[in-house]
Amino acid sequence: MKIGDLARTAQCTVETVRYYEREGLLPQPARTSGNFRDYGREHAERLRFIRNCRALDMSHDEIRRILTLAEQSKGRCGAVNAVFDQHIAHVDERIRELEQLRTSLSVLRERCQSEQAVETCGILQGLAEMESEQRPERHTHLG
């Protein structure tokens, strides 16, 4: 199948297919005599797998590790579990950060309970005061 057919099958764009090829997540397809990419069922399955991993907010490195582990038919799935355990830990940390962010936003929102002049807006005053505070480092597992 051609790249447009693969993209439609996977419900993504042609650019997404090309991007995953460049990133090495999707193997390069064979070429036709007219030099068109010729994708097979295995490309569609792999692209679906990659997209499912991305839907779980997995990084490309995590996806690469899982794909490598999946291609090793020997052995057990403990290494796959380890990748998922690490990803879950990243998600837990991000949730903590988002909870702190929500608290900070709520505190600012409480500073302005009624509509008033912009000059006396508690939110704007709070934002101006926050500039001198050190911003906490954001946790991410993405490269």
Per-residue pLDDT reduced to its tens digit, 52-96: 999 999 999 999 999 999 988 777 889 999 999 999 999 999 999
3-state secondary structure of 38: strand
134 falls in which pLDDT band (50, 70, 90)? low
Is the backbone of residue 6 left (phi > 0), alpha (psi -120 to 50) or beta? alpha
- Tokens 């962010």 sit at which residue? 101
* H-assigned helices in the chain: 3-10, 14-22, 41-55, 60-71, 78-110, 122-130
The whole-number pLDDT of residue 132 equals: 54
Query: pLDDT by residue (tens digit) across 10-61?
Result: 999 999 999 999 999 999 999 989 988 899 999 999 999 999 999 999 999 9
Residue 49 has φ and ψ, to the nearest 5°, of: -60, -45
Residues in contact with 117: Cβ distance below 8 Å, sequence separation at least 6, in sequence order: none
Is 143 a residue whose pLDDT tops 60?
no
In Å, how far are 34, 74, 104, 122 from 79, measured between CA atoms?
Answer: 42, 12, 38, 51
The answer to whether residue 117 scores a pLDDT higher than 50 is yes
Q: pTM of this prediction?
A: 0.76
